[in-house]
Amino acid sequence: MTKLSVNINKIATLRNSRGGDVPNVVQFAKDVQRFGAEGVTIHPRPDERHIRYKDAYDLKPEVYSEYNIEGNPIPKFVNMVLEIKPTQVTLVPDAIDAITSNAGWDTLKHKNFLVEVIKEFKGNGIRTSIFVDPDLHQIEGAKSTGTDRIELYTEAFAHQYGMGNKEAINPYMECAGLANAIGLGINAGHDLSLDNIKFFKENITGLLEVSIGHALIAESLYMGVETVIGKYLDKLK
């Protein structure tokens, strides 16, 4: 069964829009785990416009499932991850002004940098994952960095699938096949939803984990968080 990690950034966005501490991100993380989620994901950015660095520390003692921290490995981020020691760190090449993640790493161009950062994290017992586009050369490059896993950037699949193009899964299947062959674990995320997750899961061999935030929170506005998490878990079996 593929693990569901719930990205709670949107809960922090809602909290920050009003000030105060409602909704409370720590309580929400505890609740999604109670409802069956196997992980909690956060993606703090330098401007702290949603998840704050303090949240990352506050969540540590309350996330008893997998704790996944995503972000661009700038010095402040690296230091935070090394202090918290989450289950997994997912490296994402975010531009400072990016609204959301919009590209994977060029694992060939940035190989030396990634090797250095990944070695530091792994030396501290933290599983590493690299956010990558569905490109075979980038998968091969990821292997050479020493990362444990890749996270396939699924926006292109989700967009095309929504337009009825099921062949959009093909490059992801090819990349998954290569990753499995060379010993890389496979995660996936970005724009996955109740509409497309079952098809994606059924076609990606060895899919270990999906990280879902925006769609899950939006769907929960209509159906409730506990119900939506249950639906994802059913589709990921």
Task: Give the H/E segment covering residue 17.
Answer: helix 9-18
Q: Of the listed 50, 66, 190, 209, which one is catalytic?
A: 190
Between CA 171 and CA 121 the distance in angstroms is 29
Considering the candidates 70, 151, 209, 219, report the single residue annotated as catalytic: 70
Among residues 183, 125, 117, 126, which one has the least CA distance to residue 150?
183
Catalytic residue chosen out of the listed positions 43, 66, 209, 219:
43
Residue 43 among the catalytic residues = yes
CB proximity list for 68: less than 8 A, separation 6 or greater? 5, 39, 40, 41, 42, 86, 87, 88, 89, 90, 129, 209, 211
3-class SS letters over 213-232: CHHHHHHHHHHCHHHHHHHH
Task: Please state, in angstroms and rounded to a whole number, the distance separating the CA atoms of residues 20 and 77.
Answer: 24
Q: What is the DSSP string of 108-125?
A: TTTHHHHHHHHHHHHHTT
Catalytic positions: 43, 70, 190
